[in-house]
Copies of this chain bind each other. A is one copy, B any other.
Amino acid sequence: MASSVLPTPLLKDELDIVIPTIRNLDFLEMWRPFFQPYHLIIIQDGDPSKKINVPEGFDYELYNRNDINRILGPKASCISFKDSACRCFGFMVSKKKYIYTIDDDCFVAKDPSGKEINALQQHIKNLLSPSTPYFFNTLYDPYAEGADFVRGYPFSLREGAPTAVSHGLWLNIPDYDAPTQLVKPMERNTRYVDAVLTIPKGTLFPMCGMNLAFDRELIGPAMYFGLMGDGQPIGRYDDMWAGWCTKVICDHLGLGVKTGLPYIWHSKASNPFVNLKKEYKGIFWQEDLIPFFQAVSLPKDCTTVQKCYIELSKQFKEKFGKVDDYFNKLGDAMVTWIEAWDELNPSAAAALPNGPAK
């Protein structure tokens, strides 16, 4: 019977679930049928003396701030504190090929037929099938069941590109910024869009870290969530930052980024007034940061994610260092992050190119 509830799942030994939290992880009860077979990496944010309760039966490791400081030493400065950006420490200490990260206020959603959505399974499907970044397929994911490439899709492009990122969406509370939350406090997302699609090459998107999976071997070192929270002038731009960098590097290395299914149920909106305080500089800065990432060009000899990231940090500091000293700190932290990544992942550091420069 147990096997019908918990069938041997896909990628069981190749995927870690990373959860940043400051509270008890009761939300895992609802995910038990889907998550229990996998290993969890829990990043405890805030006061390290507080005890986080993890429901019984889950296989996990937990890191608090003391652990992060002990493991990274001075390089721990690149990991944010009092902000869910700390989750990227989990990406770094994982030894698995794939990562799924989810917020602790996200629950199992239902599809229009009322069936509970196994979000992780859909992410795995997304990651294991190619992407189509070079030409748009109007019937969405051509690798999905019952779909294909439509008339006029070049045959030379039908093998697609390896998928590095699967960005899932949210029913109920949409991921709005503080101004939109303030203007539309009652808006709920009830639209179930039954599609997965590739974000075309050259197009940026707002990547949300709430329900996100990626191939660590292909793109891990780009999934740095920046300097946010305690002691920093902004918050709530951690995932956006990671999304801009990741997309630019995926485009350069010929990797794909998908968005759409799966949905999770986002249970509660964070406080818009608190959010506004965290966001306001980001709202202002993104008007210049996004055009920078839209225009940035990486040289051909950047053949690994690490090389791309270091190059990005250089160009970023050159352009924005004089705008605000925070950007100098962030640019330096990008370098520290890569050094720490390579220290904890020595084989990856010496590895072959992640992909061909395109």
Contact = CB atoms under 8 A, between A and B. Distances in A.
B200 A290 contact: no
Interface in A147-175: 147-156, 167, 169, 174-175
A44 B199 CA distance: 40
A206 interface: yes
A190 B145 CA distance: 11
A324 interface: no
B138 A150 contact: no
B140 A193 contact: yes
A139 B184 contact: no
B175 A151 contact: yes
Nearest to A177: B151
Given A146-B189, A150-B175, 12 more contacts: A136-B203, A137-B205, A138-B208, A139-B169, A139-B174, A139-B189, A140-B191, A151-B176, A152-B237, A200-B202, A202-B202, A202-B203
Number of copies: 2
| A interface: dominant SS | loop
Contacts of A206: 135-138, 150-153
Interface string A109-147: 000100000000000000000000001111110001011
A275 B180 CA distance: 50
A202 B202 CA distance: 7
Given A112-B112, A194-B192, A195-B193, A180 B135 contact: no
